[in-house]
Structure 1
Amino acid sequence: MTRPCTRALQALLLGVALVPGLLWANPAATPLQPYSAEYKTMAHGMELTLQRQLESNADGSYTLTNGGKIMVVGFHEVSVFRVDGTEVVPRSYVYQGSGLINRRREVHFTQGADTLRSLYKGKWYELPYTEGTLDRMSQLEQVRLLLLNRDDPRGDIPVRVADARKIKSYVLEFVAEETLDTPLGALRTLHFRREHDNPERKSDMWLAPELDYLMVRTVHIEDGNPVEMILTSASLGDPAQDAGQAATGR
C-alpha cells in the first residue's frame, strides 16, 4: 500500500475530533437520549462506513461506541462516562486499531484525582486534570448536551480534551445556521468551525437541532486534502423501548 493511501486510511480511521467544553450545573437539564447512527466517510477517493451508538447503562452511566473497517484495516473505540446536570464526566476511553494500522490509545480518569492517565504509542503519560477535561469521544456528547440546554445554542464552545501526550484547549466557533441536503432529507443545522494554529488545517462540523444536535456532517482539511463525514441514517431513543423510532426528523 502506498504512503498516500496509508495516510488517507489513517485520516479515515482516526476520524475528526472537533468538540466540547466547560459547562454549568443544571439539575433540570435536558438529558442525552441513546441513539444509533451510521456515517459515510470519504478521503482520497476511499469510502468507509462508521457505526456509532450511545447506550444508557443500568448504573446511570453511558457507553459510546464508534467503529468501522475498510480493506484490511479497521478500528473500534469506546468511551464510558456519566452525566452530572449539563456536564459529561468521563471515566475511560479506549481506541483499538486493527490490520495495517494496529495502534491502541487509552485515557483513564479517576474521580477526585488531579491527574489522568493516557496511553500513547505504548507509553503511559500522567497528565494534569481539571474539571471539564474530556476524551476524544465523550467530547462529542458534551457538545450535544451543552446545546440541548442552552437558551441560545448559537455561540462559541470552549474545548478541553485529553489526547495522546497533551491536554488540548481550543474554541469551537459558531459560524451560521445552514440547511443541508442529506440522505435524511433537508436538515436545519448549526455550523461550527475549529481554527488550528497551522493554516493548512481546518475543521468544520454541522449539528442538527431536530436530531438532538447529532453531528450531520464534518469536513477536516489537512495539507489541502479533505476528509468528509456525512450522516446516512439515525435512530433516536432507547431501541428496547421504541424499536421502531427512525430519526428522519423530530
Structure 2
Amino acid sequence: MRFSALLTALLMLFALPGQAAEGLKPYQATYKAQFDLGFSFSGKAVRELRKNGDQWVLSMNAKALFASINEFTQFKINNDLIEPQRYEYHRKVIGSSKDAVLQFNWSTGTVLNDIKGKPWTMDVPKGALDSLTYQVQLRQDLLANKEQFVYEVADGGRLKTYRFIRLGTEPIATPLGSFNAVKIQRDRGPDSKRQSYIWCAPELDYIVVKLQQVEKNGKEYSLLIDELKMTEAP
C-alpha cells in the first residue's frame, strides 16, 4: 500500500555523530508523524542507536493508526568504512505483511536477500549500504561539510543509487526548541513530482529534526522531533 511506503520514506533519520567507532553516541529519538490520506491523523516513530558487542545496532519502530513498521541494521566500522552485517524489515498493514532479511558477506562481496521466503544472492561492491546504514553515511558526510551525497544501496533485491542535495539552512521550531537546520532534498530526477526534504540540526550533531514528503497529488506527510535522550554505551 502507498501508506506503508510513505511511512518508510518519512523515517529517514540518521545515527552517526562521528567518523569512527569511537565517535558513536547511543541515543533514542522520538518523532511525531502527521499523515494526510484524505483525512488527517498522527503517529509515532522511535529511532535508537545502541552498542551490541563489537557491532552497532540502529533500529526504527513506527506506529500510525492501522500500520506498523519495525526495521533494524547491525553494522561495523572498519577503517572508517561502514559495513552492514544484517538488515531486517517487517511491516504490517491491515492484515497484510512484508518481511525482508539481508545478510552481507564481505569476504565474498555478496548479500543474501530473503524476501517473502524466497532467498537469492547478489554481488555488492565495497562500500555498499542497506536502507538504514546509508542514512548513517549521509549524516557522516554532513559532518564532513559535503554538498552532495551519492550512495549505492542494496534495496528490494537490487543495487540502487540514492542521491541527495544540500539546499542551505532554515529555522525550524520543534518541541525541543528552535534550530537553524540544514535542509537536504532527495534528488529523484528533474521529471519527478514527488519531493522529499529533511532538516538536520548542527547543534544536535545533525540529528534530523524535521522531515517532509510531498506526493504527486500534493498531499503532505511529515515528522517532527519530540524527544531526544542520549544514553551511555555499555
TM-score range, shorter chain: 0.7 to 0.9
Tell me how far 1:103 sits from its aligned partner: 0.9
TM-superposition CA deviations, 1:113-138 (whole Å, max 9, x none): 22212233443343321122111112
Q: Is the 8 A contact 2:186 2:196 kept in 1?
A: yes
* Matching residue within 169, 181, 195 for 1:189: 181
Q: Is the 8 A contact 1:206 1:215 kept in 2?
A: yes
Change (3 A) 1:144 1:237: farther
Unaligned 5+ residue runs, structure 1?
Answer: 1-5, 21-25, 241-250
Unaligned 5+ residue runs, structure 2?
Answer: none
- Matching residue's letter, 2:53: A
Alpha-carbon separation, structure 2, partners of 1:34 and 1:19: 14
Alpha-carbon separation, structure 1, partners of 2:47 and 2:171: 23
- Matching residue's letter, 2:214: I
* Matching residue within 202, 208, 212 for 1:209: 202
CA RMSD between the two structures: 2.4
Q: Is the 8 A contact 2:44 2:63 kept in 1?
A: yes
TM-superposition CA deviations, 1:133-169 (whole Å, max 9, x none): 1111122222222333x1xx15111122111122111
**1:165 aligned to 2:157?**
yes
Q: Is the 8 A contact 1:211 1:236 kept in 2?
A: no
TM-superposition CA deviations, 1:151-206 (whole Å, max 9, x none): xx151111221111221113211100222111111112111111214512221111
User: When the two structures are aligned, how many residues end up with a matched partner?
Assistant: 224
TM-score (norm 2): 0.85
> How do 1:1-250 residues align onto structure 2 when only pairs under 5 Å count?
7-8=2-3, 10-16=4-10, 31-44=23-36, 45-59=40-54, 61-98=55-92, 100=94, 101-148=96-143, 150=144, 153-197=145-189, 198-224=191-217, 225-238=219-232
Moved over 6 A (4+): none
Change (3 A) 1:57 1:239: closer
TM-superposition CA deviations, 1:215-236 (whole Å, max 9, x none): 1111122323322111111122
